[in-house]
Amino acid sequence: MRFTVREMSLSKTIVGAVVICSLFFSPGILSAQESKAASPLARPEIRKRVDELLKKMTLDEKIGQLNEISGADFMSPPNREEMIKKGEIGSFLWTVDPQLLDKFQHIAVEQSRLHIPLIFGYDVIHGFRTVFPSPLAMASSWDPSLEEKAQSFAAREARSIGIHITWAPMVDIARDARWGRIIEGAGEDPYLGAAMARAQVRGFQGADFSEADKLVACVKHYVAYGAAEGGRDYDSSYVPETSLRNVYLPPFKAAVDAGVGSLMSAYMDLNDVPASGNRYTLHDILRGEWKFQGFVVTDAFAAGDLVTHGYARDAKDAAFKALTAGVNMDMGSQTLSKNLKSLVIEKKISEQEIDEAVRPILAVKFQMGLFEHPYAELSKVDRVMKDPAARVFARIAAQRSMVLLRNENHTLPLKKDISSVALIGPLANAPIDLNGGWGIPGQTPAVTIEEGLRQKLPNAKIAYERGGEIRRTIKSFFDDFFPGAAKTAPLTPEQNAAEMQKAVDLARNSDVSILVLGELANMSSEAGSRSTLELPGMQQQLLEQVVALGKPVVLVLVNGRPLNITWASEHVPAILEAWQPGTELGNAIADILFGDANPGGKLPVSWPRSAGQEPLYYSHTLTHQPEGSQMFTSRYWEGPSTPLYRFGHGLSYTTFSISNLKLPKTELKVGEQMEVTTDVENTGSVAGDEVVQLYIHQRAGSTSRPVRELKGFERVSLKPGEKKTVHFNLGKEELTYWSSAKRGWVEETEEFDVWVGSDSTAKEHAAFKVVP
Ligand code: BGC
């Protein structure tokens, strides 16, 4: 259902509840001051420069600014240099060749009539030269400052070669692990997602992306791309207003409030209107309600795809629909550049509308200082790329993002005096794949797990067996672009079985087996959706055969999504989720396995028992027969509907107690705020980190409310015996939600539960009431 801004901004009052109902309040808006300061178009001096430049520009030159072209050989027009000279291109993407970028920029600045610099974009998702953990892994750290710092390293490296804008952060909420792009975001929760979104924007952009080592961030994919039906990449999303407002939009809103310079419109149909032609989300919400002043770029070729969707009649109609919906820049398809002029001549679009579309693009170029300093200082690249601080930080980031899922009888950490280790699995020594999705040419290869273990245990006998190969059944479109994809013919079943046998024999003759199982990089991310969550290939059989030997086994998962490890969760004593940890993968895993680092990560997703449970998330509403009720003990007759591992779950080598939850009052006036505190103590014998999580539940209201919602978290480091008090705020920001019944934001006079604890089953409880 769709409403106009006018309809929704009407204030309403309902009986029994006080409703703060302005469309323009939505959680996060209280911190919007920062964004207004950061937005280039909000600065009078930049507005003035943009206006002056616009007056000098021809219609063709203006339309050129909306045109982003492939700088790679792939789908790039042969006459691109001529086009730059004529001012027909505003931006390039998909090349990280510093010489080529420099050449393009020289042509634009020196040979085009108005000397307008180009802006260069690339997918700098989790590192540029140095690779940091993938975004889902970073979210598992529950440490936004870690993510902020990682993205500031990435920005510095990318900017040094002349990249200006990154197509990140990806903030799509993902509640279905079949969807391959779950790895690119922060998981299932809007609160955690918003925190990671803000952190990434700050990391990439700094205060306002004007510094010479910063990038403009582009938050994507707006919006609800992660709700793809069946988890199939690009498939339609059907998202009611209530989930759109309460779940899918908040991380975007957080990025906008943090001053993000750009936003990418998604590919898929959202409630039957393609996201890149969707005026409701791009114009009414983004610009109308949120006052976003940056520029919107479509996902690659998405403007042209409006025809494929069956939404636009032809390319001209697509250009009309994209521009009037709120798109500024057309990534790759040239639909806008080829059709806007005739639309202006035919008076279907006014030149003023074109000016409005160009304005934020020019403003970003001014704000970055590109008119004054258009070229990268290539002589400095080497120094930036070789900064050892990035590698040191990559190791810490990898350690902090891993999640210890299971650790029976203190299997981990392993003792360093171990004499022989069987390292087994297709992912244990694969350098390129271990860098994870969104590889960038020239990236530092990952330290493999084999290398990491050898460094950690110089005196132990470490032997490696692959145990069979894994590969996609259907090749990925992206395989041609990245060297990691297998180019050889697949192994026959007999060859795989022989490899497996060798691995089992090795395990039999070793003190301990470390199995590294999971997915290759091309098995998740874009075009990486799956219909099952089983371990690919013969990895499950391999695992079962090694475990059957009855010797110590540790399972390390390297993957982009939760997988079906239900069997392992009962039979393998220690399971470490490493995700895709980046360049320092091998060292960080060895640090954790041998106790030089203590795992403190927590799951940012509910871990399913099997694909059949998806979509799965903790923050659901209750049915009339909740899980565990007498009449219908389970909603599936062959197994529980609860997750295998809960959202927020993660173990440590030490133990913690969380207690003494204190609310200063039991009645809170509407609009008021209170500080909630709780104590966390390290009750074990080694130092470690706990993520203290705060959840709330509104007991009744104008709509049914989720059983729990995360509304606060803090990762705390504690020495053995140390105790700290953690502070959380609870008030309008946390208690307001978008009510489908009231069609607006409401803070209701109702009773609330609060829990604090170490995962989404947190037990420490208190209650309060919101009163008029
Ligand atoms: C992806 C985007 C990406 C863009 C540019 C698209 O295929 O969906 O996430 O930023 O390509 O590489």
Mean pLDDT across 163-174: 98
453 with 321, same domain? no
Q: How confident is the model at residue 477 (pLDDT cuts 50, 70, 90)?
A: confident
Which one of 68, 221, 526 would you pick to mutate in the ligand 1 pocket, going by the greatest count of ligand atoms within 8 A of its CB?
A: 526
**C-alpha 120 – ligand 1 centre gap (Å):** 14
Residue 450 CB–ligand 1 contact under 6 Å: no
> What's the CA gap between 649 and 758, in Å, rounded?
7
Do 264 and 412 belong to one domain?
no
Could you tell me which of 427, 580, 528 has the C-alpha nearest to residue 177? 528
Residue 208 CB partners (closer than 8 Å, separation 6+): 37, 38, 40, 259, 367
- Which amino acid belongs to residue 239? V
Measured distance CA(37)–CA(351) in Å, rounded: 29
Q: Whose CA is nearest to atom 8 of ligand 1?
A: 299
Say how many Å lie between the CA of residue 168 and the centre of ligand 1: 10
Percent above pLDDT 90 for the chain? 87
689 and 602 in a common domain = no
Q: Are 138 and 146 in contact (CB under 8 A)?
A: yes
What Å distances lie between residue 489 and 95, 431, 434, 492, CA to CA?
30, 20, 21, 9
pLDDT class of 148 with cuts at 50, 70, 90:
very high
User: Which residue's C-alpha comes closest to atom 5 of ligand 1?
Assistant: 300
Q: Whose CA is nearest to atom 11 of ligand 1?
A: 300
Give 323's contacts (C-beta < 8 A, 6+ positions apart). Answer: 336, 340, 343, 349, 353, 354, 357
Amino acid 636 reads Y
User: Measured from the CA of 264, which atom of ligand 1 is nearest?
Assistant: 10
- Span 548-606, pLDDT tens digits: 999 999 999 999 999 999 999 999 999 999 999 999 999 999 999 999 999 999 999 99
* Residue 47 counted as domain residue: no
The dihedral formed by the CA atoms of 335, 341, 345 and 349, expressed in degrees to the nearest 10 = 60
Cα 234 to ligand 1 centroid, rounded to whole Å: 12
Same domain, 183 and 218: yes
CATH number for position 578: 3.40.50.1700
pLDDT band at 478 (very low <50, low <70, confident <90, very high): confident
* Residue that is last in its domain, among 380, 413, 438: 380
- To test the ligand 1 pocket, which listed residue (93, 122, 123, 165) has its Cβ within 8 A of the most ligand atoms? 123
> Given a cut of 50, is residue 1 above it in pLDDT?
no
Residue range 337-349: mean pLDDT, rounded: 98
Whose Cα sits closest to atom 7 in ligand 1?
Answer: 300
**83 neighbors 338 (Cβ within 8 angstroms):** no
Q: Name the average pLDDT for the chain.
A: 93
With a cut of 70, say whether residue 703 has pLDDT above it: yes
- Identify the H or E element spanning 755: strand 751-757
Q: Looking at the whole model, is its pTM more than 0.85?
A: yes
**Rounded alpha-carbon distances, angstroms, from residue 554 to 156, 288, 686, 715:** 37, 53, 21, 26
Residue 221 Cα: closest atom of ligand 1 = 9
Which of 94, 126, 167 best tests ligand 1's pocket when mutated (most atoms within 8 Å of CB)?
167
Nearest to 569 by CA among 403, 405, 409: 405
Catalytic residue among 189, 299, 305, 689: 299
629 C-alpha to ligand 1 centroid (Å): 45
Q: Name the residue with higher pLDDT: 438 or 694.
A: 694
Examine the residue annotation and report whether 314 is marked as an active-site residue of this protein: no
Q: Each residue of 387-423: b (16+ CB within 10 Å) or e?
A: eeebbebbbbbbbbbbbbbbbeeebbbbeeebeebbb
Ligand 1 atom at minimal distance to the Cα of residue 218: 10
DSSP structure class, residue 111: I
Q: Is residue 638 part of a domain?
A: no
Q: Could you tell me the distance, in angstroms and rounded to a whole number, from the CA of residue 384 to the centre of ligand 1? A: 26
pLDDT tens digits, residue range 438-467?
888 888 889 999 999 999 999 999 999 999
Residue nearest to atom 10 of ligand 1 (CA): 167
Segment 402-407 shows an average pLDDT of 98
How many domains does the chain divide into? 3
Residues 594 and 481 occupy one common structural domain: yes
Tell me whether residue 37 is in a domain. Answer: no
Q: Specify the residue with its C-alpha closest to ligand 1, atom 6.
A: 300
| 21 and 136 together in one domain | no
In a domain, 618, yes or no: no
Q: 225: Cβ below 6 Å to ligand 1? A: no
Cβ neighbours for 234, distance < 8 A, ≥ 6 positions apart: 228, 267, 268
Q: Tell which phi-psi region holds residue 141, choosing left (phi > 0), alpha (psi between -120 and 50) or beta.
A: alpha
For the chain, percent of residues with pLDDT exceeding 70: 94
Ligand 1 atom at shortest distance from the alpha carbon of 168 = 10
Tell me what pLDDT residue 481 has: 73
The answer on pLDDT for 638 being more than 50 is yes
Smallest CA separation from ligand 1 atom 12, residue:
123
Question: What is the rounded average pLDDT of the residues 421-433?
Answer: 89
Residues 709-727: tens digit of each pLDDT: 999 999 999 999 999 999 9
**CA of residue 220 to ligand 1 center, whole Å:** 9
Mean pLDDT confidence for 409-419: 97
167 lines ligand 1 (CB under 6 A): yes
Cα–Cα distance between 579 and 588 in angstroms, integer?
12
Distance in Å, CA 300 to ligand 1 centroid:
6
Q: Does residue 299's CB lie within 6 angstroms of at least one atom of ligand 1?
A: yes
pLDDT at 10 > cutoff 50: no
The verdict on residue 756 lying in a domain is: yes
Residue 382, burial from CB neighbour count under 10 angstroms (0-12, 13-18, 19+): exposed
Give the ligand 1 atom nearest the CA of 267.
8
Ligand 1 centroid distance, CA of 222 (Å):
12
175, pLDDT greater than 50? yes
Same-domain status, 443 and 373? no
Please state the rounded mean pLDDT for residues 420-429.
96
Regarding whether 417 and 339 lie in a shared domain, the answer is no
Nearest CA to 728 out of 753, 693, 703, 770 is that of 693
The domain boundary, picked from 559, 591, 613, lies at 613
Residue 750 Cβ < 6 Å to ligand 1: no
Residue 626 counted as domain residue: no
Ligand 1 pocket residue status of 68, Cβ below 6 Å: no
Is 300's C-beta closer than 6 angstroms to any atom of ligand 1? Answer: yes
One-letter amino acid for residue 758 of the chain: S
Q: Does a structural domain hold residue 628?
A: no
Q: Tokens standing for 281?
A: 């989300």
Q: CB atoms < 10 A from the CB of 725, how many?
A: 11
Domain around 92: 58-380
Longest alpha-carbon distance in the chain:
80
Q: Are residues 343 and 223 in the same domain?
A: yes
Q: Whose CA is nearest to atom 2 of ligand 1?
A: 299
Q: What DSSP element (H or E) covers 274?
A: strand 273-274
Q: Which atom number of ligand 1 is nearest to the Cα of residue 94?
A: 12
Q: Is residue 620 one of the residues assigned to a domain? A: no
Residue 617 is encoded by which pair of tokens?
């998330």
**H and E: helices and strands count for the chain:** 24, 26
In a shared domain, residues 85 and 177: yes
Q: Say if residue 458 is in the same domain as residue 514.
A: yes
User: Pick from 598, 613, 628: which residue ends a domain?
Assistant: 613
The domain spanning residue 107 has which CATH number? 3.20.20.300
pLDDT digits (tens, 9 = 90+) for 738-766: 999 999 999 999 999 999 999 999 999 99
Phi first, then psi, for residue 114 (nearest 5°) are -105, 5
Report CA(338)–ligand 1 centroid distance (Å): 22
Atom number, ligand 1, closest to the C-alpha of residue 167: 10
Expressed in angstroms and rounded, the spacing between residue 259 Cα and the centre of ligand 1 is 21
Q: Which two tokens stand for residue 274?
A: 């393609």
pLDDT interval class at 487 (50, 70, 90): confident
> Which stretch of 309-318, 330-339, 514-523, 627-636 has the lowest confidence by average pLDDT?
627-636
- Residues 374 and 393 grouped into a single domain: no
pLDDT band (50, 70, 90) for residue 482:
low
Q: Residues 614, 467: contact at Cβ < 8 Å? A: no
The alpha carbon of 218 is separated from its chain's Cα centroid by a whole number of angstroms, namely 12
Residue 233 Cβ inside 6 Å of ligand 1? The answer reads no
C-beta separation of 406 from 644 below 8 A: no
What separation in angstroms does the CA of 725 have from each of 371, 440, 679, 714, 722?
A: 50, 43, 4, 11, 11
CATH code, domain with 685: 2.60.40.10
